[in-house]
Amino acid sequence: MPTTTFRRPDWRAPSVLPGFGLTFGFTLAWLTLIVLIPLATIFLRSAGMGWHEFVAVGFSHRALAAYRLSFGTAAAAGLVNALFGLLVAWVLVRYSFPGKRVVSALVDLPFALPTAVAGIALTAIYAPTGWIGQYLEPLGIKVAFTPIGITIALVFIGLPFVVRSVEPVLADLGHDVEEAAATLGANRVQTFSQVIFPAIAPALVTGFALAFARGVGEYGSVIFISGNMPGKTEIAPLLIVTQLEQYAYAGATAIATVMMLVSFVILFGLNTWQAVRRRRLGA
């Protein structure tokens, strides 16, 4: 009778399934090589440059203007998406209309379309001679090469985050709570504002935060439409590229560090908030 002895590390629960050593080892090694070490270099570089230099290049006037622009336009686009993303999710979950499946599939277009393609397409539409730009120009409205153009690009990029966050929650909500509200005498507006909206608000916040984080770091779809004027329409990721092209590694590193910390803080805060909420609601 062949026997197998089970040797295993003490720290993991035993299992009859094989392959833990192989798959866990490979996962950890690949993760460390591809993600952890490269990401660590950026903090190592920042740490190596000293506080004064870090502040000088990471918070220069030009860098501050870039942060303001990146965070501001990402927030504006996030808000637009929160509003229209909720509308799109609502329409997709609640109503039926011809072509709904196509519309639903199309919502993911920004995930699938390369950002550079989106960038030149949006520019073709909103440039002063573009499809829509030519009608806005006589009215004195400039879209391309202004923060409005950047915001439009970020609306494009961020839309699916909001729709796909809200959709499942809205679908799960079920008709019964609304019916309960109706039997208790609530009208439609009251039902929406007091029953439905509070239930989907967390998903909306999540979608906003994801869209915002993505928008802050976005590059490809923005640089064509943004005009890239230092201090005016130069987003933070572009400033990193510019610094790199001028071999200003310290500047690029410091700005990248600031951006990374901000996005980690946002996502960490989001996770913590969700965990706390779940615990409080006992879900």
Partner 1 sequence: MIRVQNITKRFGEFPALHGIDLEVKPGEFIALLGPSGSGKTTLLRIIAGLEFQDSGEVFFHDEDVSSVGVGERQVGFVFQHYALFRHMTVAENVAFGLTVRKAKNRPAKSVIKARAEELLRLVQLDGLGSRYPGQLSGGQRQRVALARALAIEPRLLLLDEPFGALDAKVRKDLRRWLKDLHRQMGLTSIFVTHDQEEALELADRVVVMDHGVIEQIGTPEQVYMEPATPFVARFVGETNQLPASDGKDMLHVRPHDLEIVAADGDAVLVDNVFRKGGCWRVEGTLTGGGKVVEIDLDASRPAPSPGETVLIRPRRSKIFAQTGA
Partner 2 sequence: MSRQHSTSEGRAARLGLIALALLFLGFFLVLPLLAVFSEALKQGLGAFIDAVKNPDALAAIRLTLLIAAISVPLNMVFGVAASWAITKFRFPGRNLLVTLIDLPFSVSPVVSGLIFVLLFGANGYLGPWLAAHGVKIIFAVPGIVLATVFITFPFVARELIPLMMEQGKDDEEAAISLGANGWQTFWHVTLPNIRWGLLYGVLLCNARAMGEFGAVSVVSGHIRGETNTMPLHVEILYNEYDFVGAFAVASLLAALALVTLVVKSLLEWRFDLHSGAKH
Cα(233)–Cα(237) distance, rounded to whole angstroms?
12
Cα(263)–Cα(209) distance, rounded to whole angstroms?
10
45 lies in the binding site for partner 2 (CB under 8 A)? yes
Among 59, 71, 90, 273, binds partner 2 (CB under 8 A): 90
| Residues 177/194, Cβ–Cβ less than 8 Å | no
| Residues 151/77, Cβ–Cβ less than 8 Å | yes
Measured in whole angstroms, the distance separating CA 204 from the mean position of its chain's CA atoms is 13
155 lies in the binding site for partner 2 (CB under 8 A)? yes
Q: Which is nearer to partner 2, 60 or 228 (CB)?
A: 228
Residues 159-188 that bind partner 2 (CB under 8 A): 159-161, 164-165, 167-168, 175, 178-179, 182, 188
Sort residue 231 into left (φ over 0), alpha (ψ -120 to 50) or beta.
Answer: left
Cα dist from 3 to 6, 239, whole Å: 10, 63
Tokens standing for residue 27: 């996962």
Among 2, 3, 7, 18, binds partner 2 (CB under 8 A): 18
Other beta carbons within 10 Å of 111? 11
Binding-site partner at residue 135 among partner 1, partner 2, none, CB < 5 to 8 Å by type: none
Residues 188-207 that bind partner 2 (CB under 8 A): 188, 191, 206-207
Binding-site partner at residue 5 among partner 1, partner 2, none, CB < 5 to 8 Å by type: partner 1
Q: Which is nearer to partner 2, 61 or 183 (CB)?
A: 183
77 lies in the binding site for partner 2 (CB under 8 A)? no
224 lies in the binding site for partner 2 (CB under 8 A)? yes
User: What residues line the site for partner 1 (CB under 8 A)?
Assistant: 1-6, 13-14, 16
- List CB contacts of 12: < 8 A, sequence separation 6 or more: 20
- Cβ 43 to partner 1, closest distance in Å? 35
Binding-site partner at residue 4 among partner 2, partner 1, none, CB < 5 to 8 Å by type: partner 1
